[in-house]
Structure 1
């Protein structure tokens, strides 16, 4: 696959064509345009657009713009075909265990959805990737549905848990292979399988996905083949998403969501541009980067990130990168424990010790920076104000779910916090 900075990014990721189409509001949903495949090579499309823009002094009337799109773009979804998972079966065991007839009927309806949500990428995306915003995947996958015809990173963890309950490990393995391929090509798992998502990731659950798959299949050979790629994905977070926090004369390294790229999100371009109009011009690129970081968090959007500006109730006050999130660090702490277990399973004690030590360092940092002894819970840390944010969010208790605490009393304290 080509790197993301080639010519077609000037159509799907940034540039005048994207700006004019999205700001003209030709579609109710900005995502519709950036999901349309091209009918011809991107350099030809850009050349024709340049000629059209020049002829109209770079302000193309809506009718001509619509005609241009109809000539040079295809309708959404042309690059995908429906796919029925080969390992789907009529009556998985979990359905037989449900005694309530109404609940069982509901479970059966959910189980049927795998056949409706299965997708396979057509071969032309592999042969002509420059004509699509969809990133080619060698293996079929399950999509969220609705306007989302591509797979997403952390959504897919929940999808895989459901697939494993439906006794469909083959489908899960294929989806895992798609994610691992993305890491090998791009160095990380993007937010979703579109070129315009490549600048940002999502909560790092790939290691946990592998663990769930292994629990159901005991496929050690698959782990051995891909352990290096799992390590590469965690390296992305270490190299690109770490922050040093000083407290009590000590420095602690933790992770945060941060996307060092401005510009409106292509799939929400007009909304982001309109929001930026409320700010001074010099603050707009920073706003767009924070919106992308909010999307990377998976909480797009939440009051968790609205901590800046004169009015913290406005989305323009978003400061995602200025928070050290409890859940992100709990996910990474869990991943480090799993990596240690994986390497032990493969007989590599040196790497197992490395990840065990990383987990211990992170737990110490989380206790020092995020844990509040009086409240009995963990809290996001505000980097600008230098203090914890004590509002309640379910994410405050993620370390309990991920097993990332050393004080056994933390469970009782957290239960009291919930009361």
Structure 2
């Protein structure tokens, strides 16, 4: 690591015994015993360091002490006896340090492969509830079948299961007691790599991957971003959809569609060779296949409106949830059948009790999870009945992307690999029609905003959420509509630390219990920030975009400075803290000494935000100037 120009005068060199220095730091400064040095610790003394030249330096700053601990942890892992480090490295500006570690460490630590080399790290994680290491392989993937059956011969703990030609909800329920990993693409005898979110999320997730891809492209990892597109195409070809994630219990569930954007952004960075043109033709063919078969020819299409909904098929209780997650719901039905809740749950799971209303509740719950917003009061017990603004915005973007790619790279006419022919005009008309239907069903003239439409009640909802503003990102709005939407967005969803997932009033009005749902007020999420920044810039609202980028990056930076480099899954953006108390806690906050991976889309949002932020604001970020001071 080179010294920042800002601290070049502090190029004082130290040679530190690794184990002793780590011990001294933890004994003297980790007063709560969590193997981190944070603002919550209360050290009673200054830390003295003697340089190789004999100079004595006093460290008082928690951030500098935690940086030193992190660098010692890296040296310790490499089994170094001593660490040579400069003062300017210890005092590395926080934005520079976070960005550098994302680029040079975090992406590599989050990279996985489903093959001999990479399988162990996935199959032995906390989601595997028995001693078996299972991998499920599509019946028609001859390359994958040969690879994993040969691997099984040398790894006897590995159980390889060939999936049947037709995957039904009944089949998925039948294997819930035998959970396993779903294979991904094998090429040249190795697994094609992908990036995972981090923490307990140790597989390839649907919409996470697109946002991670944005960060990868910015950091020059086009190879890895392209590989993730290839794995998505594999999933569509062999599993029929982009999976919620490559676990056996996700076989009937997809996630928000971003493949066309992913393809377009990757191809823009590739040399325009004949080989890459073939890649574009293949991936575009697959993306069109997904659009037609996953979204337009299933229950995810609603003929009454001509729009789309999330709709995840499945039977019974989603097996990935924690024990007790549905206890309050199940208790209602246990009382109805005069049974204990545990007895009712067991009878319902094995099919002894059938209840259509409870079955529908779990269709809604699975659908909510398919939307990526698990969970929110916006979708609770209603998700499968909604033409959602976010989904239809994303499919509009698909149609516009297909129009652009065919027009730009295929002279307006495209023959897909299955022989079907398309013109860019065809997709232009598709997009235009969707825009008309979205204006008809989702736009509220009085409130000047898009809202989800309930196809069952034939009414718009009025839940104020970040997803209402996805049309800005998709480029679907007219400038006049954007001029109405943006002031509303800034009024309802701007918080100290970034955009809220929903506003306080809607969250409180629709909550049916005191449970805090993690995709609601007061929480903020990386994908919402990234989409809304781009949406603001699409319509000329650069100042608003810069302000919201700064607020979000300040939240990440301040928490990393105060808490030993912590970069978690989400934030409370009202209080600008990673200390959240929602239903699932906060992934990425549990580690010792140093975080090795941050969190996938949070890392990407940091790199994306920095790429858009003018230099004068980066300097303010390094000085941790509060947003309300900077922008008031």
Confirm or deny a common fold (TM above 0.5): yes
Structure 1 CA distance, aligned partners of 2:467 and 2:313?
24
Quote the Cα distance in structure 2 between the aligned partners of 1:226 and 1:371.
33
Q: How many residues align?
A: 302
1:141 aligns with 2:141: no
The partner residue of 2:368 within 294, 297, 302 is 294
Asked if the contact 2:253–2:313 (Cα under 8 Å) also holds between the matched residues in 1, the reply is: no
User: Is 1:373–2:445 an aligned residue pair?
Assistant: yes
Give the superposed CA RMSD: 1.9
CA 231–271 in structure 1, closer or farther in 2 if over 3 Å, else same: farther
Which position in structure 1 is the counterpart of 2:115? 122
**1:283-313: per-residue Cα shift (whole Å, max 9, x none)?**
221111111101000001101113xxxxxxx
> Kindly tell me: are residues 269 and 113 of structure 1, through their superposed partners in 2, closer, same or farther at Cα, counting changes over 3 Å?
closer
Residue 332 of structure 2 aligns to a residue whose secondary structure is: coil
Q: Unpaired segments of 5 or more residues in structure 1?
A: 1-99, 246-251, 307-317
In 2: Cα distance, 1:333 partner to 1:101 partner: 41
Q: CA deviation at 1:338?
A: 0.2
Match for residue 296 of structure 2 among 205, 213, 238: 238
TM-superposed CA distance for 1:374, in Å, is 2.1
Match of 1:108 among 87, 97, 100: 100
If each structure's helix is expressed as a fraction of its own residues, which one has the higher value? 1
Q: Which residue of 2 aligns with 1:160?
A: 213
Q: Deviations over 1:236-281 (max 9, x none)?
A: 1011111134xxxxxx300001123221112116446633342453
Matches within 5 A, 1:13-412: 101-111=93-103, 112-123=105-116, 125=135, 126=144, 127-128=148-149, 129-130=160-161, 133-137=180-184, 138=186, 139-217=192-270, 218=272, 219-235=276-292, 236-240=294-298, 241-245=300-304, 252-268=305-321, 270-271=323-324, 274=327, 275-279=329-333, 281-306=355-380, 318-344=381-407, 345-349=409-413, 350-405=422-477, 407-412=478-483
- What is the match of residue 168 of structure 2? none
Identify the residue that residue 572 of structure 2 maps to in structure 1.
none
Query: Which sits farther off after the overlay, 127-136 or 373-382?
Result: 127-136
Distance 1:163 1:300 in 2: 25
Uncovered stretches (5+) of structure 2, i.e. residues with no partner: 1-91, 120-134, 136-143, 150-159, 162-177, 187-191, 337-354, 414-421, 492-632
SS at match of 2:446: coil
Secondary structure at 2:469 match in 1: helix
Preserved CA contact (<8 Å) 1:224 1:346: no
Deviation string, structure 1 residues 81-100 (Cα, Å, up to 9, x no partner): xxxxxxxxxxxxxxxxxxx9
Shift of 1:329: 0.2
Q: Helix, strand or coil: the match of 2:320? A: helix
- 8 Å contact from structure 1 (residues 295, 301) kept in 2: yes
Higher-Rg member (1/2): 2
